[in-house]
């Protein structure tokens, strides 16, 4: 399987940690959106898209990258994120991002989310939330998620 993970991780490297675990299981390289062209994804069997969450949305760099993807993608994809808080019912940012990828032609196999240390204002004033995340249990869950993807693609 030829896989790549396009990951935007900014503040504390939370999302990158998760991406590296998933990439290890899938044999996928992990790249920032600035390190790969949207058209290059056509050469991969599986593409992961990962982001931290700011202002209840994926990072703008990853959203812009997804919008720039050529129409007619025929690959399989998955989406993951880290955040200090669960996705609120009134702001379905993961579903919105996934819909963008589906409009481009990707088949979305699954998604994964876990907590990440968050110090975005005003949380910085109190020392942030979810300190220590992603922790060993979060990374083990990411590994299990990736193993499930690998089995699904191989089977």
Number of independent structural domains in the chain: 1
What is the tens place of the pLDDT at every residue in 13-55?
789 999 999 999 999 999 999 999 998 998 899 999 999 887 7
Q: What is the average pLDDT value for the chain, to the nearest integer?
A: 86
What's the confidence (pLDDT) of residue 129?
46
pLDDT at 118 over 80: no
pLDDT at 72 over 90: no
What's the confidence (pLDDT) of residue 119?
55
Q: CATH number of the domain at 51, please.
A: 3.40.50.360
What's the confidence (pLDDT) of residue 83?
77
**What is the distance between the alpha carbons of residues 94 and 150, in angstroms, rounded to a whole number?**
21
What's the confidence (pLDDT) of residue 130?
62
pLDDT at 146 over 70: yes
SS (H, E, C) 46-104: EEEEEEEEECCEECHHHHHHHHHCCCCCCCEEEEEEEECCCCCCCCCHHHHHHHHHHHH
Most confident of the ranges 89-93, 111-115, 116-120: 111-115
Identify the domain containing residue 94 by its residue range: 3-154
Closest CA to 44 of 65, 73, 64, 17: 73
């Amino acid at each position: 399987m030829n896989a790549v993970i396009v990951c935007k991780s900014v503040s504390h490297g939370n999302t990158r940690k998760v991406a590296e675990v998933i990439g290890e299981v899938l044999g996928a390289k992990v790249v920032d959106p600035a390190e790969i062209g949207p058209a290059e994804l056509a050469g991969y069997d599986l593409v992961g898209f990962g982001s931290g969450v700011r202002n209840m949305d994926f990072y703008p760099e990853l959203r812009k990258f997804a919008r720039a993807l050529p129409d007619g993608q025929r690959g399989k994809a998955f989406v993951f994120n880290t955040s200090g808080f669960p996705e609120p019912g009134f702001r379905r940012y993961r579903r919105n991002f996934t819909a963008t990828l589906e409009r481009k032609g990707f088949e979305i196999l699954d998604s994964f989310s876990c907590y990440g240390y968050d110090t975005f204002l005003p949380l910085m004033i109190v020392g942030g939330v979810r300190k220590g995340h992603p922790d060993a249990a979060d990374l083990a869950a990411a590994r299990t998620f990736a193993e499930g993807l690998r089995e699904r693609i191989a089977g």
